[in-house]
Structure 1
Amino acid sequence: MNTAKGLKGVVAVETSISSVDGKNGILLYRGLDICEVMKKASFEKAAYFLWYGKWPDDYELTTIKNELSQHRMLSSEMKQLIDGLRKNMDMMSVIRTAVSSEGTMDYSWKPTIGQAIRLTAQVPSIIAYRKRTLEGKAPVSPDPALNHVENYLCMLYGSVPSKAHANALEAYMILTLEHGMNASTFSARVTASTESDLVSAATSAIGTMKGPLHGGAPSGVIDLLHEISEATHIEKVLRGKLSKGEKLMGFGHRVYKTLDPRAIALKERLLQTAGEDPWLDLALETERIAVELLKEYKPGRALYTNVEFYAAAIMKAIQMEPELFTPTFTASRMVGWTAHVLEQSEDNTIFRPESVYIGPDHSVAGKI
């Protein structure tokens, strides 16, 4: 029997949600190149596009904005649940526990887009409520006048964010809405394939995202940018690392063997706000110099920035703590997870892969 550890290279589903071509550096949302998505999309538009498979008209956009806004407020029961959790519980575990409590509501099979909207609206509120209560600060109520990303930042930090910061984080969250059959998306579809509810599928995905091999924070990139900012000489720092054979964090990707299309799209959006934030400007200049030096030190390797490089710069610019990186990733990826569960429900077959037994045979086991 042919085996593939980790199911690598095994086709498990057919999907029309996204396509990831690592060899050629292409990411498509519903057949549209990610750079084109970024040119025309807000978070709400992109989410609608993934859920419905078409762009919203003005009425539909207003409707989905209102629906997201209506579901931002946490119930008193959920707040009590969060308040009762251990103070040292990590944020991903808090999100997993809080989201799973939504299973007490009507989330029966088959899943609906309305349920997907509610879960997407709730996660940023869960993160913000937990963060502020742990800090001894009063929770900030959702502001219906703000869009999804602006409201998230406002609830986290207590004030309306600058345009540059809101635009930068929105760009990152659009780019992380969806990324093919990754581990967390697969776990969501496996759970849904049993005709379990959307909350259970989302909880499975969150638990998978928590693992450092999947949703790990780009702390190494932040350390690099810190070192550069303190040295005030980008090329000297980078040459020093490359001369010692050290890896430049944020360059190269295990999937994309050429330019990471998400990094390209994110860079284009950040260039629109050049000069408005020193950390974002530092990242742009660091990338320019690093790419040239990598060609010199590692010819033929085709090492370019990945999305984590600019994600780290954005998180640093908005002063987001590293422990909130993966939770914020989760807040955006909820859209992709729920889109996949909805798709799974339309043509469902329970997942039941085979395994290869490598233990002792019965004759040996019987003598023990």
Structure 2
Amino acid sequence: MADNNVTISKGLEGIYIANTTLCQIDGAHGKLWYRGYPIETLADKSNYEEVAYLLLYGNLPKKKDLETFRKKLISEREVPESIADIIRTFTGRMHPNDVLRTCVSALPAFDVDMNDKSVEANLERAIKLTAKLPTIVAMIGRYKRGKPFLAPSSTLSHAANFLYMLNGVEPDSESAKLMDLMFMLHAEHGSNASTFSTLVTGSTLADVYASVVAGISTLRGPLHGGADEAALNMMRAIGNPENTETYIEDALAGKQRIMGFGHRVYKAYDPRAKIVYNYLKTFMTKTTDPTIERLLEIALRSEKLMEEKLSKTKGIWPNIDFFSGPLYTAVNIPSDLFTPVFAAARVVGWTAHLFEYWQNNRLFRPLDNYTGKLDIEYVPIDKR
């Protein structure tokens, strides 16, 4: 019989699962910190490699440490030919995020010693994954375009190398900075759905690869990693900037959800969205591509209308997903790669949380409140 005194926290909302020093979110005031550093400061002064080091090691690197870390990432960018075979076999038959998941599932076959569960060995795996995921995503994108795979650069930054491997040309400094920014802003965000599933899998003492596969799988849904793709699809459906207000008004009247607005945690403007919004406005003044210009204008007009309609009255503000799509499009990333790009950035946050949780590991085992009948008589099949 059901226990009527049980309180069900749907979606585990309001339930704390662990102590952490990785990330703090002040949803009421729209604030975000990585290891105590405001996200605005990191976005303005740092870069993805430095942020990855910060998350994995717990402190900002000295110059020598950062150079060593960068060289390690560069040395791990290449993937085995078997991974290329997986990409050739499944790209076009599955969503790119599912292809990425399958590739990561195969990586343990190339681990020198999966029995080594030491802190050092697991940290090496996190670095390998951080280096290889952008390579895999870029290869998926190249194959979808019918283009040959490119070998990773040994000189370009993490973000610039990804754009080079995807698009076939070294990016200009503005595009490289934009990609670096997006990697930084997606690197970590507390105990979200994909991070939680990474921890649930890791709490069984499954290996790093299995845990990351769980994170990638969870990221797939439109309520999480797929939200930026859904938001961009909405902007494309609007088509002409002049249609923006009518489209939004009709959607709101029909009680349709406007993707990219609202957040489980933020009840104020997502601080990451504020940063991206400013870059979007800057990009708007420099782009010469009419398609990109239309998308950026639709995004700006949608934001203005939604702020007037819902943000100030109901606390439904834009989140980073809303502005990500137009900016990814501006650097020639197709919409079906948005989620795997998210995974390539977030893998460092997933693994950092996993290592932190393993320091005081406990298997996740929540309870169900049973509400069905008991002791039902079994009737043989010929008498039913």
- After TM superposition, the score normalised by the length of structure 2 is 0.85
- Which residue, 55, 64, 70 being the options, matches 2:69? 64
Q: Across the two proteins, how many residue pairs are aligned to each other?
A: 363
Whether 1:353 aligns to 2:366 is yes
- For 2:222 and 2:258, how far apart are their aligned partners in 1? 19
Following superposition, the deviation at residue 159 of structure 1 comes to 0.8
Change (3 A) 1:358 1:47: same
- Which residue, 83, 86, 95 being the options, matches 2:88? 83
Aligned pairs (5 A) from 1:1-368: 1-85=6-90, 87-104=92-109, 105=111, 106-107=113-114, 108-111=116-119, 112-223=122-233, 225-226=235-236, 231=240, 233=242, 237-244=243-250, 246=252, 249-270=259-280, 275-277=285-287, 289-290=301-302, 292-294=304-306, 296-298=308-310, 300-362=313-375, 364-366=376-378
The answer to which of 327-336 and 339-348 deviates more is: 339-348
Partner SS for 2:146: coil
Change (3 A) 1:200 1:303: closer
Following superposition, the deviation at residue 13 of structure 1 comes to 1.1
The answer to which of 12-21 and 146-155 deviates more is: 12-21
The answer to which of 276-285 and 243-252 deviates more is: 276-285
Instruction: Write out per-residue CA displacement over residues 264-314 of structure 1, whole angstroms, 9 at most, x where no aligned residue.
Output: 122344556563325777677656655554454456234433211220111
Letter in 2 for 1:326: T
Following superposition, the deviation at residue 82 of structure 1 comes to 3.5
Letter in 1 for 2:352: A
Letter in 2 for 1:53: G
Change (3 A) 1:306 1:88: same
Contact 2:138 2:166 (C-alpha < 8 Å) held by counterparts: yes
- For 2:146 and 2:103, how far apart are their aligned partners in 1? 20
The answer to which of 264-273 and 27-36 deviates more is: 264-273
Name stretches of at least 5 consecutive residues in structure 2 with no aligned partner: 1-5
Following superposition, the deviation at residue 210 of structure 1 comes to 1.8
Change (3 A) 1:113 1:301: same
The answer to which of 66-75 and 124-133 deviates more is: 124-133
Change (3 A) 1:250 1:77: closer
The answer to which of 260-269 and 271-280 deviates more is: 271-280
Following superposition, the deviation at residue 262 of structure 1 comes to 0.7
Partner SS for 1:181: coil
Following superposition, the deviation at residue 245 of structure 1 comes to 5.3
Letter in 2 for 1:50: L
Partner SS for 2:148: coil
Change (3 A) 1:346 1:157: same
Contact 1:177 1:336 (C-alpha < 8 Å) held by counterparts: yes
- After TM superposition, the score normalised by the length of structure 1 is 0.89
Contact 1:291 1:303 (C-alpha < 8 Å) held by counterparts: no
Contact 2:280 2:327 (C-alpha < 8 Å) held by counterparts: no
Following superposition, the deviation at residue 17 of structure 1 comes to 0.7
Instruction: Write out per-residue CA displacement over residues 303-335 of structure 1, whole angstroms, 9 at most, x where no aligned residue.
Output: 433211220111121222111010100100101
Letter in 2 for 1:332: A
The answer to which of 178-187 and 277-286 deviates more is: 277-286
Partner SS for 1:300: helix
Contact 1:242 1:297 (C-alpha < 8 Å) held by counterparts: no
Instruction: Write out per-residue CA displacement over residues 50-98 of structure 1, whole angstroms, 9 at most, x where no aligned residue.
Output: 1111111111111111111101111123333433447412212211111
Following superposition, the deviation at residue 365 of structure 1 comes to 4.4
Letter in 2 for 1:64: F
Aligned match of 2:3: none
Following superposition, the deviation at residue 160 of structure 1 comes to 0.7
Following superposition, the deviation at residue 343 of structure 1 comes to 0.7
Following superposition, the deviation at residue 232 of structure 1 comes to 5.3
- For 2:279 and 2:91, how far apart are their aligned partners in 1? 39
Letter in 2 for 1:348: N
Name stretches of at least 5 consecutive residues in structure 1 with no aligned partner: none
Partner SS for 1:28: strand
Letter in 2 for 1:89: M
Instruction: Write out per-residue CA displacement over residues 331-365 of structure 1, whole angstroms, 9 at most, x where no aligned residue.
Output: 00101101011111222122122222223212x24
Change (3 A) 1:365 1:316: farther
Contact 2:296 2:326 (C-alpha < 8 Å) held by counterparts: no
